[in-house]
A and B are shown apart, each in its own frame.
Chain A
Amino acid sequence: MTMANTPTRHAERLRGGFLSGPASGVLILLGFYILLVVAFAIFTPFFATTRNAMSIASNVAFIGMMAAAGTPLIIAGGLDLSVAAVAGLSGVLIALLNAAGWPIWLAVGAALAMGVGVGLANGLLSTTLRLNPLIVTLATMSIVGGAALILTGGLTRPVMQPSFNWIGQGRLAGVPVPAILMLSVYVGLAFVLRATHFGRYVYAVGGNPEAARLIGLPVMRVQMVLYVISAVSGAVAGAMLAAMLGAAAPAAASPHLLTVIAAIILGGTSLAGGRGSVWGTLIAVLILGTLNNGLTLNDVSSFWQDVTRGVVLILAVGVDQVRLHLQAR
Chain B
Amino acid sequence: MDNRIDMVNVDKSFGGVSVLSNVGFSIQPGEVVALLGANGAGKSTLMKILTGVYSRDAGSIKVEGVEVRMSNPREAAALGISFLPQEISVMPDMTVAENICLANMDQFGRGAFVDRAAMRAKATKILGQVGFDHVSPDSYVGHLSVAEQRIVEIARALASDANVLVMDEPTAALSERDAQAMFEVLRNLREDGTSVVYISHYLGEVFEISDRIEVLRDGRNAGSFHTAETDVESVLAAMLGRAAETLFDHRQAPSGGEAAFEAAALGWKDKLSDVSFTVSTGEIFGIFGLVGSGVEYLGRVVFGAEGRNVRGDMRLMGSPYRAISPAHGKACGLGYVTAERKADGILGDLSVAQNLASAFWPEYRNGPFASRHAEAALAQKWIKGFDIRTSGPDQPVRLLSGGNQQKVCVARWLHEGVRLLILEEPTRGVDMGARRDIYRQLAEFAAQGLTVLVLSSDAEEIAGLCDRSLVLNRGRVVQRFGRGADASALLAATALTDPAEVEKELT
Chain A residues close to B by CB (< 8 Å):
1-12, 14, 195-197, 199-201, 203-204, 207-208, 210-218, 274-275
Query: Do the beta carbons of A204 and B348 come within 8 Å of each other?
Result: no
Complex CA–CA separation, A2 to B14 (angstroms): 15
CB of B347 within 8 A of CB of A211, answer yes
**A215 to B365 CA separation, bound complex (whole angstroms):** 18
The one of A5, A10, A14, A204 that contacts B347, using a Cβ cutoff of 8 Å: A204
Q: For A195, what are the chain B residues with a Cβ–Cβ distance below 8 Å?
A: 369-370
Asked if B344 and A5 make an inter-chain contact with CB atoms under 8 angstroms apart, the answer reads no
Pair B336/A214 contact, Cβ less than 8 Å: yes
- Alpha-carbon separation in the docked complex, A7 to B14 (Å): 6
A203 vs B358: C-alpha distance in the bound complex, in angstroms? 11
**Is B370 a contact partner of A196 (Cβ separation < 8 A)?**
yes
Q: Complex Cα distance A278/B358, Å?
A: 22
Contacts known (A12-B395, A275-B349); A197 close to B329, Cβ less than 8 A = no
* Min C-beta distance of A269 to chain B, whole Å: 13
On whether the beta carbons of A12 and B399 are closer than 8 Å, the reply is yes
List the 10 closest pairs (A to B, CB-CB), nearest first: A4-B40, A216-B330, A210-B344, A6-B17, A216-B327, A10-B15, A12-B391, A8-B399, A195-B369, A216-B326
Pairwise interchain contact A216-B369, C-beta atoms closer than 8 A = no
A-B contact pairs, 27 of them (CB 8 A): A3-B18, A3-B40, A3-B218, A3-B219, A5-B390, A5-B391, A5-B404, A6-B14, A6-B17, A6-B19, A8-B399, A10-B14, A10-B16, A195-B369, A195-B370, A196-B370, A197-B361, A197-B365, A203-B349, A207-B347, A208-B347, A211-B345, A213-B305, A214-B336, A215-B358, A216-B325, A275-B349
- With a CB–CB cut-off of 8 A, which chain B residues contact A197? 361-362, 365, 370
Which residues of A sit under 8 angstroms from B389, Cβ to Cβ?
A: 1, 4-5
Across the interface, name the chain B residue whose C-beta is closest to A213. B326
Query: Is B173 part of the contact surface with A, judged by Cβ < 8 Å?
Result: no
Residues of B contacting A200 in the complex (Cβ-Cβ under 8 angstroms): 354, 358, 361, 370
Residues of A within 8 A of B391 (CB): 5, 8-9, 12
| Min C-beta distance of A186 to chain B, whole Å | 18
Chain A-chain B contacts (Cβ-Cβ < 8 Å), number: 123
Residues of B312-328 at the interface with A, using a CB-CB cut-off of 8 Å, are 325-327
B481 to chain A, nearest CB (A): 29
Contacts of B412 in A (CB 8 A): 215
Of A11, A199, A204, A217, the residue contacting B399 (CB under 8 A) is A11
Task: Provide the bound-state CA to CA distance between A10 and B305, in Å.
Answer: 38
B residues with CB within 8 A of A: 14-19, 38-42, 218-219, 303, 305, 325-327, 329-331, 336, 338, 343-350, 354, 358-359, 361-362, 365, 368-370, 389-392, 395, 399-401, 404, 412, 431, 433
Min C-beta distance of A85 to chain B, whole Å: 32
Closest chain B residue, CB of each to CB of A205:
B347
A272 shortest CB reach to chain B, Å: 11
* Residue among B17, B305, B331, B400 having the largest count of chain A Cβ atoms under 10 Å: B17
Give the Cβ gap from A327 to chain B, nearest Cβ, in Å.
9
Give the Cβ gap from A277 to chain B, nearest Cβ, in Å.
Answer: 13
CB-contact partner of A210 in B14, B343, B368, under 8 A: B343
Q: Collect the chain A residues with CB atoms within 8 Å of residue B404's CB.
A: 4-5
Residue of A nearest to B396 (CB): A22
Contacts of B15 in A (CB 8 A): 7, 10, 14
Which residues of the other chain, A, contact B399 by a CB distance below 8 angstroms?
Answer: 8, 11-12
User: Could you list 7 further interchain pairs (A-B, Cβ under 8 angstroms) beyond the known A203-B350, A204-B354, A215-B359?
Assistant: A1-B38, A3-B40, A3-B42, A197-B370, A204-B358, A211-B344, A214-B336
B388: nearest residue on chain A (CB-CB)?
A5
A217 to B330, CA, bound (A): 10
CA of A211 to CA of B409, assembled, Å: 10
- Asked whether A1 lies within 8 Å of B326 as measured between CB atoms, the reply is no
Query: Which residues of chain B have C-beta atoms less than 8 A from A14's C-beta?
Result: 15
CA distance A109 to B433 in the complex (A): 62
In the bound complex, how far is the Cα of B16 from the Cα of A10, in angstroms? 9
Chain B residues contacting A210 (CB-CB under 8 Å) are 343-344
- The residue from A3, A8, A207, A213 contacting B349, defined by CB atoms under 8 A apart: A207
Chain B CB within 10 A, most for which of A211, A218, A275: A211
Contact of A8 among B325, B354, B395 (CB under 8 A): B395
A2, B39: Cα distance in complex, Å: 10
Given the complex, which residues of B lie within 8 Å of A218, measured CB to CB?
327
A212/B362 contact (C-beta < 8 A), A3-B40, A10-B17 known: no
| CB of A199 to closest CB in B, whole Å | 7
Is B401 a contact of A4 with CB atoms below 8 Å? yes
Complex Cα distance A208/B344, Å? 7
Chain A residues with CB under 8 Å of B431's CB are 1
Which residues of A are found within 8 Å of B370, using beta-carbon distances? 195-197, 199-200
Report the nearest A residue to B413, measured CB to CB: A215
B401 touches A5 (CB 8 A): yes
Residues in A with CB closer than 8 Å to B305 are 213-214
A323 to chain B: closest CB distance in Å? 14
Q: Which residues of B contact A6 (CB under 8 A)?
A: 14, 17, 19
Return A101 CB to nearest CB of chain B, in Å: 43
In the bound complex, residues from chain A placing their C-beta under 8 Å from that of B338 are 211, 214
The CA-CA distance from A326 to B347 in the complex, in Å, is: 21
Question: A8 — which chain B residues lie within 8 A by C-beta?
Answer: 391, 395, 399-400
Q: Which residue of A lies closest to B364 (CB)?
A: A197
Cβ of A217 and Cβ of B14 under 8 Å apart? no
Say whether A3 contacts B350, CB under 8 Å: no
Which residue of chain B is the closest to A211 with respect to CB atoms? Answer: B344
How many Å lie between the Cα of A304 and that of B399 in the bound state?
Answer: 43
